[in-house]
Amino acid sequence: MSDYIDSDGYRANVGIILVNDDGHVFLAGRAGRRGWQFPQGGIRHGESPEEAMFRELTEEIGLDASHVEVVGSTRQWLRYELPQRYVRQSQPLCIGQKQRWFILRLTDPGARVRFDSTDEPEFDRWRWVDYWYPVREVIYFKRNVYASALKELGPLAFPEGLPPIPSWWPSSL
């Protein structure tokens, strides 16, 4: 089953921010490569964003609905364009991603992260990090989307107030 690419060339996708009881977020390392990111993946034809999110959660990190609570999702699609060297030239043309982001709370601290749910794992390592840290670690062309998702969804996970924005925070975000 293929992912959905809209008429503007954006691949429909979900992103997952997983928060633990300490207020840290889950960050995973790309398998066999440098780079860190949140779990994310394409929405298939006929699949809702929430269905895609739970499928990706299981495929990418081995967790399922029994391990998490859905705290919220972004109101709108967040978009980023791919640098030209990453644009897929085959048809349909894919120039970037439009993402619906979800913030989840880990409710089962004993849940075991696993990368063996697929034949080609997306990740091979992971860690819990400070809330804003992923903006610094993710590949440059995703930074604005990460910042937007964290800003919008953070108040849902931290009703008493977001963790302070760090001193390294780029003024362009």
What residues contact 25, with CB distance under 8 A and at least 6 apart? Answer: 17, 18, 19, 38, 128, 129, 130, 131, 133, 134
pLDDT at 87 over 90: no
Give the chain's domains with CATH numbers: 10-157 (3.90.79.10)
Q: For Cα atoms 16, 82, 9, give the angle at the middle one, nearest 5 degrees.
A: 90
Confidence of residue 93 (pLDDT cuts 50, 70, 90): confident
Backbone angles phi, psi at 38, to 5 degrees: -75, 155
pLDDT at 90 over 80: no
Question: 7-45 pLDDT, tens per residue?
Answer: 999 999 999 999 999 999 999 999 999 999 999 999 999
The reported pLDDT for the residue numbered 165 is 87
Question: 139-154 pLDDT, tens per residue?
Answer: 999 999 999 999 999 9
Give pTM, 2 decimals.
0.94
In terms of residues, how long is the chain? 173
Give the residue among 71, 29, 36, 24 at the shortest CA–CA distance from 50. Answer: 71
Which pair of tokens denotes residue 71?
């705290």
